[in-house]
Structure 1
Amino acid sequence: MILKEATEKDIPLIQELAGRSWKSAYADILSEEQMKYMLSEMYSQSEIESQLRNHNYHYFLIQDEDSGSFEGFIGYEHHYSDKTTKLHRIYLVPESKGKGFGKKALQFLNEKVKENEDSRIILNVNKHNTARQFYESQGYSVYDEGVFDIGNGFVMDDYLMEFLIHK
């Protein structure tokens, strides 16, 4: 697996990978209308450009080093709050799940968090998303839950999870 730092020229690829992975991850959880709304808001050209201009926010493309294909991406923000990095997004296309890419991406994130002197990683995961079990298998635990108004009459009903970095 290769993790390649994304730049503005990679935005169309990020958008395409997000669309493919979301169709699989959220098909039984969110309405088609909510998925379209969230993708258009969270993965718009201007939104990703803004994130890439933030020196604490990083996108890395997950690439299969054997085939050269892009399998997904990870997006995170160091110093989101005190000593805390927020994992905003980690998505894999359906056909790449179960091949170790997610686990390796989280291990990479742990190293980046240590390098940037944060000691905690937080994330939100939809309460009905099976990804919760994946995160728990990697040492994350639920510390809270919340319902967040995201506009247009939609909400995110999430578990808030954390991973503590031991130095």
Structure 2
Amino acid sequence: MKLIGATEKDIPLIQNLARRSWEKTYVGIISTEQIEYMLEEMYSANEILKHLQNSNYHYYMILDDRNNSYEGFIGYEHDYEAATTKLHRIYLAPESKGKGFGKGALEFLKEKVQESGNSRIILNVNKDNSAKKFYESQGYKVYNEVILDIGNGFVMDDYVMEFLIHGNLT
């Protein structure tokens, strides 16, 4: 597995992977209308381009170097809060789950966070998303709950989780 910095040319691939993951993950958790609304808002080419142009925001493509195929992506933002990096998105193609790509991406993230001088990672996860258990297995803990109005009559009902980095990770 390799993580490769994303560029503007990767926007269609990011959009495709997000859609494939969301359609599998969120059906039955949120409405189809909300899925479509969020994909259109959060994964428009303009929105992703804004992220790529922000020096604190980083996207990496998750490459399965054995099959030379992209299996997912990760997007995070250093200094989202004081000494804190926010993991905004980590999504895998549905057929790639359970193969170590998510765990590898989170390990990569910890290294990047430590290199940045941040000491904490936060993320939001839908309260009904089974990914919460995955994050807990990787040492993340719930520290808050939020209901966020995202417009168009939709809300995100999430747990906010954190991982604290202490010293050397190796």
Is TM-score (shorter-chain normalized) higher than 0.5?
yes
C-alpha RMSD of the superposition: 0.4
List aligned pairs for 1:7-156, cutoff 5 A.
7-156=7-156
Give how far 1:101 is off.
Answer: 0.3
Flag structure 1 segments of 5+ consecutive residues without an equivalent. none
CA shift digits 1:74-132 (9 cap, x unpaired): 00000001000000000001100000000000000000000000000000000000000
Give secondary structure in 2 for the equivalent of 1:47.
Answer: helix
Q: TM-score, normalised by structure 1?
A: 0.99
Amino acid at match of 1:81: E
Q: Once the two structures are superposed, what CA deviation does each residue of 1:134-160 show, in whole Å capped at 9, x if it has no partner?
A: 000000000000000000000000000
Report how many residues are paired: 167
Distance (Å, rounded) in 2 between the aligned partners of 1:84 and 1:108? 16
Once the two structures are TM-superposed, the CA of residue 30 in structure 1 deviates from its matched residue by: 1.0
Match of 1:30, SS state, is: coil
Runs ≥4 in structure 1, deviation > 6 angstroms?
A: none
Shift of 1:46: 0.6
TM-score normalised according to structure 2 size: 0.98
Q: Which runs of 5+ in 2 are unaligned?
A: none
